[in-house]
Structure formats: C-alpha cells, structure tokens
C-alpha cells in the first residue's frame, strides 16, 4: 500500500521527501496538506494539463500519423511496426527500443490516465478552497474539459476503456472495469457540459493555454461527430462559429508560423503551448519532422529526418492550394545551398518534408511550436459533415467547406454532389487541412474506411501495408491488463 500511495503522488505531479522507504506515508497529502489555497488550486490544474505536453509531444502523433495515409516514419524499429501494423499487445518493438511510452499507444494510455487522475483531484478538492469564486469555477471547469479530452483520446484509440471519475486513494479505487461506448460518451458529454457552463468566453486577455467556453464547444462538436450524434455536432459547431469569438487566419501558413502564435490564437482555439526554455514544456515533433542531421536551419537547431509525407499525398494537393506550402520537396541547408528532393533523406529519393512545425530559433531540441487541440478550420469542417450527415449536401454544408477552401486558395467545391460524395469531399478536405495534427487515423477509423485507404498509401519504403479489422483500435497494453484483473483485451488481440 505504501508503494501504491507513493505512485499515486508521483502520477499527480506532487513530490514528497522521504528519509527512508519504510517511512509512514499518508494519502492525506491530497486531502489535507495540499488543496488548501488558491496557489494549490493553480498547481493542481497545471498538473492536470501537464499530460497534454506528454501526449501531443509525440505518442498521439505516432499513434495517429504513423498509421495513416499522409505521412510515415523512417523505418526504425518501434516506429515501423505502427506503419506496418505489426505490433503486439506488449508493444515489444517499442519497449525493446526504449520508445514504449514516448512513441506509441502505451504513452497514450499512461499520460491520459495520469491527466484524468490529476483532473479528478481538482474536481473533488478545489470547490472547497476559499479563493476568488470566479477563478475557482474556471479551474474546476477546465478540469472537466481536460477529463473529457483524455477520456475521448483513450476511447478513439482503444475503444471501450475504464471511465475514471474518482481520484484514487487506494489500490481498489484505481482498478476499474471497462465501460461501454454509450457510457463513455455519456460521461464525456456530462464533463463537457460542466466545462462549457464554467469557462469564460474567449478574449485576448485569456491566459494562453487555457480553453475558453467557445473552444470547448468546438471540441464538443467534434466529439459528438465521432459519436455519430449529428444534430449535437451541428448545433455546437454552428454555435462556435456564430459566436464571433474566433476567425480563420488570413493564411493557413500563419497558423503554423512560430512568430505569429499569439495572433493565431484567434483560430487555434486550444493548443498545447510549448516554449523553448522550460524542459517540461518542450515538444519534439519539430525535430522529428525536420531534415536529417540538423541540416535545415529554417526548421530547427536540432532535427533528425525521421518523419516524412508520402509523395502521393503531396501530389494530391492542387498546385494552387496554399496548404501544400506546409510540405516541401527541397530545403536550404546550413551553407545556404538548396538540397534537392533526391537528397532529402537516404531512405528514399522521394522524401517530402513536413513544414508545419518549424522554429529556427529553437534551443537545442527545444522549440516553441504550439500543437493544435482544436482550431476553427476543424470546426467548420465538422459543421459541414454534420449538416450533410443529417440533410445531405445543402447550401449550408457547402458554405462551411467552401469557407475553408477559400482560405486555402481553392475555388468552391463542385456543386450538386450527392450526400455520400459530399461527405467524401469533406473527409478529403480534412486530410489536406489537418495533416500531421494527430487527426487522420481517427478519421479513417471512425468512418471505417482504413481497410481500403491504407493499402493504397505505400511507397518504396513501405511497399506493402495490410491492416486488418482488429487494427481499428489499438490493443490495450498487456501490462495494464496484467496489473488490472478487471480489464479485458480488445477483440482480435486476446
């Protein structure tokens, strides 16, 4: 029990100084000694949000983008198993290469539940703290938003998962059985309702990294879309758009310009905020996406050349689509020389660089690139799809998708499409707009199109890719099942 309580405290972002291992440790560190002041409340919500850096720093990107049809990793052990669908429930390759938490589903599981545990403590303890009432309400509402986001991340990755709504003071409370999809979304909806009710509307004075009411409405709309709750998705997406609190940046390139991040918050409604100087706030995505051997100064001080876009995905963009400029087939090296595509990487002569995450002023491996959780362009496309799912390709649905296309420099979508063709066009637009944002794999799995799409996403590095029906969801990490007798493995992975 002592070890378990110590583990709980470590996962909650709290530290305890112990002079010896057998010293008596009391779980009242949470209930009595910590959640007493306004600063404790702020520390608690910071700990709950801390898992976002861990999740979006790389595990969620690996889980989604390494498996999908837009981009692929350099074929090193651990990463290539996700692309080739050759992983096992123990994630042996990732574990043997030391990447079992940083680059795969184990990290999604661990960091999501760590965030949930921290959010639960905030929800349970902060309401009793004597402090500014408005700020207290906002902190608790943000904890609800985070708990919803973490549960949604888990369910779209693993399907049925344990729903955790109480903080764990002992081992028995930590071991929870799976919930049905219906019950998972019921809890997520409840948490999001609490969040929307308590969060402030967006203003430029909102502290960066904190979600607004409208941002959570937008996220809520996307989550409802995943739940095939078309009416709710449509209503919430429209409410977010019509609030007038957010707007698309003039150019999609501006959203990912590290020097325009403050201005880009008008579109990037909720993002994982990184900085160059705080180790716990670094994101490694940029270094993975940049040229090999740190040879591209426009990308980063340190980069590895480990993540590229498929040539066919690059070719799918219209030349007039400004978003194609967020990919590149050449780059400028440290001497100022233009490196041609055939020399981008020794892995393939058709390497395509991902330019969404670049910070020329990065410090070593640390960068200042924010990673979107939900942005307004995404909400427009949610609105377009939800409208079409209910009512077909209406003028309203066309208006939403054409707003995104216009910003990209494209003409209006072909008029007169049938319902299915229009929805397919929205999914394609999502692929172009949201590539490399940990989104595409989940679009393919929620629509159950991955079995036909993925086998076509091949190149000379990965000439054959053969997903099976069981790959729609990742297997629950075997070590979690071994630790929790109430857990059962996903179908096909037993």
Instruction: DSSP for 411-470, please give it.
Output: -PPPTT--HHHHHHHHHHHHHHHHTTSS-HHHHHHHTT-HHHHGGG---SSS------GG
Q: Report pLDDT for 364.
A: 75
Residue bearing tokens 């095939």: 228
Question: Which of left, alpha, beta for 214 (phi over 0: left; psi -120 to 50: alpha)?
Answer: alpha
CB 73 within 8 A of CB 306: yes
Identify whether the C-beta of residue 322 lies closer than 8 Å to the C-beta of residue 377: no
Instruction: Enter the pTM of the model.
Output: 0.93
- Nearest Cα to Cα of residue 377 among 404, 358, 359: 404
Phi/psi for 352 (5° steps) reads: -125, 120
Whether 206 contacts 213, CB under 8 Å: no
For the chain, 494 residues long, give each residue's pLDDT as a single digit of tens.
333 333 333 333 333 333 333 333 333 334 557 899 999 999 999 999 999 999 998 899 999 999 999 999 998 888 899 999 999 999 999 998 887 778 889 999 999 999 999 999 999 999 999 999 999 999 999 999 999 999 999 999 999 999 999 999 887 888 899 999 999 999 999 999 999 999 999 998 898 999 999 999 999 999 999 999 999 999 999 999 999 999 999 999 999 999 999 999 999 999 998 876 665 666 778 888 999 999 999 999 999 999 999 999 999 999 999 999 999 999 999 999 999 999 999 999 999 999 999 999 888 777 788 999 999 999 999 999 999 999 999 999 999 999 999 999 999 999 999 999 999 999 999 999 999 999 999 999 999 999 999 999 999 999 999 999 999 999 999 999 999 999 999 999 99
Query: What pLDDT is attached to residue 173?
Result: 81
Query: Which residues in 304-318 are b (16+ Cβ under 10 Å) and which e?
Result: bbbbbbbbebbeebe
Do residues 78 and 94 make contact, with C-beta atoms less than 8 angstroms apart? yes
Tokens of 223: 């989550």
């Amino acid at each position: 029990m002592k070890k378990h309580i110590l583990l709980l405290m470590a996962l909650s972002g709290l530290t305890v100084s112990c002079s010896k291992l057998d010293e008596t440790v009391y779980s009242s560190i949470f209930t009595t000694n910590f959640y007493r002041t306004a600063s404790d409340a702020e520390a608690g919500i910071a700990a709950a949000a801390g898992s976002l850096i861990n999740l979006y720093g790389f595990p969620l990107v690996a889980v989604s983008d390494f498996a999908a049809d837009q981009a692929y990793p350099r074929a090193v052990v651990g990463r290539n198993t996700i692309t080739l669908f050759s992983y096992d429930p123990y994630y042996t390759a990732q574990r043997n290469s030391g990447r079992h938490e940083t680059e795969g589903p184990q990290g999604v599981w661990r960091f999501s539940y760590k965030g949930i545990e921290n959010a639960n403590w905030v929800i349970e303890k902060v309401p009793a703290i004597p402090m500014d009432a408005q700020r207290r309400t906002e902190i608790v509402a943000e904890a609800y938003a985070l708990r919803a986001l973490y549960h949604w991340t888990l369910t779209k990755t693993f399907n049925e998962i344990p729903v955790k709504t109480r903080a764990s003071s002992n081992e028995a409370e930590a071991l929870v059985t799976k919930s049905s999809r219906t019950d998972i979304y019921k809890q997520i909806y409840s948490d999001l309702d609490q969040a929307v009710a308590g969060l402030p509307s967006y203003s430029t004075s909102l502290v960066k990294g904190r979600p607004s009411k409208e941002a959570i409405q937008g996220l809520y709309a996307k989550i409802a879309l995943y739940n095939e709750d078309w009416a709710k998705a449509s209503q919430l997406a429209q409410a977010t758009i019509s609030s007038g609190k957010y707007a698309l940046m003039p150019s999609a390139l501006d959203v990912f310009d590290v020097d325009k991040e403050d201005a880009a918050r008008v579109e990037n409604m909720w993002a994982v905020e990184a900085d160059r100087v705080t180790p716990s706030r670094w994101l490694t995505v940029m270094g993975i996406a940049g040229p090999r051997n740190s040879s591209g100064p426009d990308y980063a001080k340190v980069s590895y050349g480990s993540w590229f876009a498929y040539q066919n995905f690059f070719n799918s963009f219209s030349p007039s689509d400004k978003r194609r400029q967020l990919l590149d087939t050449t780059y400028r090296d440290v001497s100022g020389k233009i490196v041609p595509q055939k020399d981008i990487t020794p892995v393939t002569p058709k390497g395509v660089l991902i330019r969404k995450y670049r910070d020329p002023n990065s410090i070593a491996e640390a960068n200042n690139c924010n990673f979107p959780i939900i942005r307004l362009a995404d909400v427009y496309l949610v609105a377009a799809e939800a409208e079409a799912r209910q009512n077909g390709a209406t003028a309203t649905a066309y208006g939403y998708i054409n707003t995104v296309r216009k910003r990209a420099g494209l003409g209006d979508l072909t008029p007169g499409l049938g319902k299915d063709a229009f929805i397919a066009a929205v999914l394609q637009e999502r692929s172009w707009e949201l590539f490399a944002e940990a989104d595409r794999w989940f679009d393919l799995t929620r629509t159950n199109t991955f079995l036909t799409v993925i086998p076509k996403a091949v190149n000379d590095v990965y000439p054959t890719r053969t997903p099976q029906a069981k790959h729609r969801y990742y297997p629950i990490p075997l070590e979690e099942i071994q630790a929790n007798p109430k857990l059962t493995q996903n179908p096909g992975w037993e």
